[in-house]
Amino acid sequence: MRYSPLGPVLKTFGPSYRVAGIVLVLGLIFGGLAFAVAYGIHDQTAWLVFDGVAAFFSLLLWRQLVYRAWLHETGISYRKVLGSGEVRWMEVERVFFGSHDLDAHGIPLGTFSSLRLVTTYGRKITLGESIRDTDELYEAVSQKTFDALYRKAVQEFNSNREVDFGAIRVSRETGVTIRRWFHRQTIPWRDIAAFRYSPHYFVFDRVSSRFETRVVSEHVANIRALHALLTNVMRNVW
């Protein structure tokens, strides 16, 4: 990689070959079908369709193989199809991370992770399934940004402000509010029996219900800071 003002590269995260393999297999399947049809009927339109399918999947494969991310002591740099960029740890305001399992008609394709950063300037950097070892990259990002994000959350909470964690908001007065597509669900502090999180979900157990309340993890910002804040608050509630 070219010189970066963030300093020496600690680790390189290349493209996900699993995703590249899926794109390649799909390209061969659809490209093969288009070729068979065009070869069988000898029609110019069919050959144009084949050319379009081949070009589409070739672009997808090229786009996938271009992705790179580099970890530095003071931040992260990355390269995409449309250019490259850098983000310092002090500029990171939100970290979104989550995992989901994919399958094709019952055939498991594996677990894919998504990582998205939002800076204090509103810039959004998505390093999802296209990057290899996204879980490891997230661990590094989380360790470097946790202290600052947690301190900010505590300051806002102690100032009686609603702390915004994306799909979850925390208020000293009302408790925890979960934002969904068409409504909001508020869980008072006294109604929280337990809470936990995983790469898939942030889960609340409620006193008044035997059913869990789940929020998709990749919709929750700064999930570790949220968990730490709730842990400290609930010590005074339970």
Dump pLDDT digits (tens) for 82-96.
Answer: 788 899 999 999 999
pLDDT digits (tens, 9 = 90+) for 180-197: 888 889 999 999 999 999
Q: What is the pLDDT of residue 36?
A: 92
Helices 17-41/44-66 angle, 10° precision: 170
> Where does residue 103 rank: exposed (0-12), middle (13-18), buried (19+ CB within 10 A)?
exposed
Is the CB of residue 118 less than 8 Å from the CB of residue 105?
Answer: no
Q: What letter would DSSP give residue 218?
A: G
Q: In 3D, which of 80, 221, 91 has the Cα closest to residue 148?
A: 91
Asked whether the predicted pLDDT for residue 161 surpasses 90, the reply is yes
The overall average pLDDT reported for the chain is 89
For residues 114 and 210, what is the distance between their CA atoms, to the nearest angstrom?
30
Residue position matching structure tokens 């070739």: 58
88 contacts: CB under 8 Å, gap ≥ 6: 6, 74, 75
Residue position matching structure tokens 């998504």: 114
Q: What is the pLDDT of residue 104?
A: 65
Average pLDDT (159-181) is 93
Task: Report residue 155's pLDDT band, with 50, 70 and 90 as the boundaries.
Answer: very high
Average pLDDT (155-161) is 93
pTM: 0.83
Q: What is the pLDDT of residue 77?
A: 92
Q: Quick one: tokens of 63?
A: 């786009």
Task: Report residue 105's pLDDT band, with 50, 70 and 90 as the boundaries.
Answer: low
> Where does residue 156 rank: exposed (0-12), middle (13-18), buried (19+ CB within 10 A)?
middle
Task: Report residue 3's pLDDT band, with 50, 70 and 90 as the boundaries.
Answer: low
Q: What is the pLDDT of residue 64?
A: 85
Asked whether the predicted pLDDT for residue 218 surpasses 90, the reply is yes
Q: What is the pLDDT of residue 236?
A: 78
Task: Report residue 66's pLDDT band, with 50, 70 and 90 as the boundaries.
Answer: confident
Average pLDDT (65-76) is 91
DSSP 137-150: HHHHHHHHHHHHHH
Asked whether the predicted pLDDT for residue 129 surpasses 80, the reply is no
Average pLDDT (49-60) is 92
Quick one: which H or E segment has residue 37?
helix 17-41
Q: What is the pLDDT of residue 2?
A: 53
Task: Report residue 232's pLDDT band, with 50, 70 and 90 as the boundaries.
Answer: very high
